[in-house]
Each structure stands twice: as C-alpha cells, then as structure tokens.
C-alpha cells in the first residue's frame, strides 16, 4: 500500500495530511505565529530551583518559565550509566543548578494548557538518517530495525565514519535501514556543522536566547515522514515547492523524485476531502461503517474512548456482534489517535466480551493497527473492569487544542446551564439586591431564551417575587449575551 503526503501552504499556516488506503491518517498543522518548540535549543537561565520536587524553572524567553526535572539533566546521571535506574540514584538537583545559572537546554514537550515547556539538558539533533548526541559516546540503533545482522552492519558503518577524537554519539534512525555510506557521511557532516554553530552561539549569546530552531513542518516532512511506501509528496505552493527542492538536494536527495508541485484548480485539500475530515476530527462522535460508534472525550488528565454497538446487529448472536464491533473499533481508534494527535493516558472502554479468545483477538488487532504509529506508545491488557490503557507520547498539542478554544458560554465544560436554572439564579440575585438597595425598579438584562422563559413558564414566580419585594421588575433582551450571562440594573 502506498502513502501520499499533501502539503498545503499559506502565509499564515502550513498543513500536512498523510493519505493511506484512500483515507486521511495523520494531520499536522503549524501556524506561522505559533510554531512548535520541540527540538529547539536555548541558552536558558535558572529562575528557581525546587529541591523538594527535584526540578527547576528555566527562563528561555517564553511567556511562562519552562520546567526541568532532575531526571532530564545529563550531568545528574552517574558515570557509566546510560540512564537512571531504581538502583542508581541521581545527583540531587540543588548540587547541579543554582539561581541565575546559564544552561543549554532543549525543548522536549511544547507548552500545553497552563503547563510550561518541558526541557532536557541532553541535547539531540536530528538528521534524516541519524540523531547526533553531543554528550553521549555510544551508537544506538532504532528498535524498528529488527534484523540483528543489519543492526550490526549499520553500527560498523557509522563507527567507520566517525573521527578518532569524535565527541558525541549517534542513534541510527529507521530511515537509515537501506542508506549508503555516502548518505550517512552527508548526514554526519550536516550534524557536526549544526552542533558547531550551536556551541559557538552558546558562548556569545546572552541568556534566554534561541540557539537552534528545528526545521519547519514542510522540511520535517522530507526528513521524517517520507519512507519507501511514500509514492508522492504534493505541494500546492510554487515558492515552497522550490524551497523544498533546494532543501532536498542538500539533505534528502533520494526524496526529490517524489516531490511534485500541485497546479490543479481545485484546492489540494478539497480534492482529497481533507477539510471534511478535519471537521469530523473535531467532533466527539466517530461513526463506524457497521453502525457502531466511538465517543471520544479529551480532558487535561486523560482521553477516554467509549465503544458502542449502535445500530449494528449483523452478527450471528449478541457475542458475535460485540466482537465484530470491537474489531472495527480497534482499527478506528488507532487511526483517531494519529489523526487527532492524542497523547498521554488514553482509556479505551471497549464493549464487554466474555470470551478470552475474543479479547486476545481484539488486542492483537489493536496492536497491529498501532504498529504504523510513528509516536512511541504502549498498550496494556484488559483490566479487571474491562478497560484497556494506552499511553502515547505527547510532544505537541492535539488537533483540537490547535484549532479550538474553550467555549465562552460553558468555559470548556462542554455544557451550559438551562434557561430555567438561570431564571432561578436571577430570582435569588434579585432577592439579595432588594435586601441591600432600594431602587425604583429592577431591570433584568438577559438572553432571548431566558427572557422568554420569564414571560411564559416562570412568569408566575417572577410576579410573586415582584409582589414580595414591592418593586416593579422589567425585562430586556440583550442579544449579545449567551444563555448563562445576565445583568441586573438598579433603576
């Protein structure tokens, strides 16, 4: 099966859609005014060290201070250990950092909601074939390259290209699986030049300066997204097509034959129905072809996905219907995680199945569908409550967080108080106001639906309150007010 990549570029944003088997599988959006920060390297300034949390806040020039945990400080790790383990304690953060200290850091997670960016002092610079680790000295191989002979051959190739006094190590990416020695040499030279520039800037720039910015979205497509299954990369902007051609000649020459300039009259995203898919990806409900459906609810703590049979009754019996719905849901869930870029803890509430054989088959189908995901994730078995827990690495904001904002009427709750509830709130507020003030008249300013409720079903209660406080109460429709908004004017 072949993949197609669509790149839609406008002055205000770049959008990328990955099409596989005729359906949109991934959507990536990068806005000019709010480019993602992941991969950027800064010269930060320590604002505050928190020994109790073993973390520190670092000023990198953003609106909110960024967060650095001791586990993400390379110097905290004991010599001879590639990472922390339960048996090897880290050096306490108060012995490594102090207020006002300048430190070179890299963003590993974008700011999300009220949380600042997450930082690490272990710098990594990605090329097309390799990732350069300036502080490390080992050569790692991507876990997706499973053939042991091939892994060893790649390690030998990279070692042969390294200088005798080479400082730093490399991780061989999946893209390097069939790479020639020349491809690897070109990538190593690019990474060395990049790190040399960053090192010089770190010595001359003031704190809170940007030392290195990751590639823009269109360039990352050529570096990270293209693989042997990619049949075409269509770009609808001539200027950016030429820019990507130039970038490709320098860094990704093998990708150039797949790069195409789209010149059709219809917008590129309309041609492949991507705009419709974006609208559907912002909704809670996802319909399955069988008649079943998913309900996806995203909160700050986690995302829940509930599976329902809906109108699907095609199975031989009820157990068969449930099994077939869950199998279809497993494929749809894997696609929705990529499409919506959902990360963190994801709880799947599949329909309860009695048969262990059915449970194993659904889990196998889910893992198979998730194998195409380029983001690191893990899947648990069924819990005692019949739930499956998925954790998916969260580095950038989800699609809904990029395109949407909390509803001004409900403040992000996803629901609003009924008109009757607002009427009763107003009646209580009127009673409080009448006890404190003595105006000639009270005027209620509210939305049309609330005023209608007072004029019809709640007219008796409003009249009773008017008689009780001994003051006239008038109503005024305020069209700009939403349902929960009202004001009481003392006349």
| pLDDT, tens digit only, all 491 positions of the chain | 689 999 999 999 999 999 998 899 999 999 887 788 889 999 999 999 999 999 999 999 988 999 999 999 988 676 655 544 455 678 899 999 999 999 999 999 988 777 889 999 999 998 888 999 998 888 889 887 878 888 888 888 888 888 877 788 999 988 787 778 887 888 888 898 889 999 999 999 999 999 999 889 999 898 888 888 899 999 999 999 999 999 888 777 888 999 999 999 999 999 999 999 999 999 999 999 888 999 999 888 899 999 998 766 655 678 888 999 999 999 999 999 999 999 999 999 999 998 999 999 999 999 999 988 888 889 999 998 999 999 998 877 889 988 988 887 777 777 889 999 999 999 999 999 999 999 999 999 999 999 999 999 999 999 999 999 999 999 999 999 999 999 999 98
Last residue of a domain, one of 233, 260, 275: 275
The rounded Cα 207 to chain-centroid distance in angstroms is 28
On whether residue 414 sits in a domain, the answer given is: no
On whether residue 411 sits in a domain, the answer given is: no
Same domain, 351 and 378: yes
Last residue of a domain, one of 212, 232, 259: 212
Same domain, 58 and 190: yes
pLDDT at 83: 47
Same domain, 236 and 148: no
On whether residue 448 sits in a domain, the answer given is: yes
Interatomic CA distance for residues 63 and 463, integer angstroms: 52
Same domain, 224 and 341: no
On whether residue 320 sits in a domain, the answer given is: yes
On whether residue 433 sits in a domain, the answer given is: yes
Same domain, 208 and 94: yes
Closest CA to 240 of 213, 268, 212: 268
How many structural domains does the chain have? 4
Same domain, 45 and 30: no
The pTM of the full predicted model, rounded to 2 decimals, is 0.74
pLDDT at 89: 76
Cβ-based burial of 365 (10 A; exposed 0-12, middle 13-18, buried ≥19): middle
Same domain, 225 and 248: yes
Same domain, 204 and 58: yes
Q: Which domain holds residue 120?
A: 41-212
Strands 285-287 and 293-298: antiparallel
On whether residue 157 sits in a domain, the answer given is: yes
Sheet of 23-31, strand order: 23-31, 13-20, 3-9, 230-235, 259-261
- Give the CATH number, domain containing residue 186: 2.40.50.140
pLDDT at 79: 60
- Give the CATH number, domain containing residue 9: 3.30.420.60
pLDDT at 423: 95
Last residue of a domain, one of 275, 292, 317: 275
Same domain, 175 and 207: yes
On whether residue 412 sits in a domain, the answer given is: no
Same domain, 158 and 11: no
- Give the CATH number, domain containing residue 466: 3.40.1260.20
pLDDT at 44: 95
Same domain, 202 and 224: no
On whether residue 408 sits in a domain, the answer given is: no
Same domain, 154 and 122: yes
């Amino acid at each position: 099966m072949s993949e197609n990549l669509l790149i839609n570029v406008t002055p205000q944003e770049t959008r990328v859609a990955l099409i596989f088997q005729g359906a949109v599988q991934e959507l990536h959006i990068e806005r000019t005014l709010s480019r993602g920060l992941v991969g950027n390297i800064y010269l930060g300034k320590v604002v505050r060290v928190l020994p109790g949390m073993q973390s520190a806040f670092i000023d990198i020039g953003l609106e909110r201070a960024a967060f650095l945990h001791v586990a993400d400080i390379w110097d905290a790790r004991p010599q001879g250990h590639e990472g922390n383990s339960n048996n090897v304690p880290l050096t306490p953060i108060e012995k490594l950092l102090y207020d006002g200290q300048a430190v070179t850091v890299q963003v590993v997670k974008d700011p999300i909601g009220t949380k600042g960016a997450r930082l690490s002092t272990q710098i990594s610079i990605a090329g097309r074939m390799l990732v350069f680790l300036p502080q490390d000295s080992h050569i790692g191989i991507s876990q997706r390259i499973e053939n042991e002979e091939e892994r060893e051959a790649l390690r030998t190739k990279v070692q042969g290209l390294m200088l005798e006094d080479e400082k730093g190590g490399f991780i061989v990416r999946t893209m390097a699986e069939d790479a020639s020695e020349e491809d690897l040499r070109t990538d190593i030279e690019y990474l060395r030049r990049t790190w040399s520039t960053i090192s010089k800037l770190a010595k001359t720039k003031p704190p809170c300066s940007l030392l290195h910015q990751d590639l823009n979205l269109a360039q990352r497509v050529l570096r990270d997204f293209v693989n042997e299954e990619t049949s075409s990369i269509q770009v609808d902007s001539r200027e950016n097509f030429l820019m990507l051609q130039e970038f490709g000649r320098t860094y990704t020459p093998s990708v150039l034959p797949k790069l195409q300039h789209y010149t059709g009259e219809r917008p590129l995203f309309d041609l492949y129905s991507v705009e419709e898919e974006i609208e559907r990806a912002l909704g809670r409900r996802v319909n399955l072809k069988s008649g079943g459906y998913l309900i996806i609810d995203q909160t700050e703590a986690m995302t829940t996905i509930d599976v329902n049979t809906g109108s699907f009754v095609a199975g031989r019996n009820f157990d068969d219907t449930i099994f077939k719905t869950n199998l279809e849901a497993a494929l749809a869930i894997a696609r929705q995680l990529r499409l919506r870029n959902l990360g963190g803890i994801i709880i799947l509430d599949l329909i309860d199945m009695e048969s262990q054989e059915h449970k194993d088959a659904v889990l196998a189908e889910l893992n198979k569908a998730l194998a195409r995901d380029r983001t690191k994730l893990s899947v648990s078995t069924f819990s005692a409550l019949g739930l499956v827990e998925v954790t998916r690495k969260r580095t950038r904001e989800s699609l809904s967080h990029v395109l949407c904002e909390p509803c001004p009427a409900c403040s992000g709750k996803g629901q609003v108080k009924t008109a009757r509830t607002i009427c009763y709130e107003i009646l209580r507020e009127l009673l409080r106001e009448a006890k404190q003030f003595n105006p000639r008249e009270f005027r209620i300013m509210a939305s049309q639906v609330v005023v209608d409720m007072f004029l019809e079903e709640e007219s008796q209660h409003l009249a009773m309150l008017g008689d009780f406080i001994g003051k006239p109460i008038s109503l005024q429709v305020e069209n700009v007010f939403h349902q929960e908004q009202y004001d009481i004017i003392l006349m």
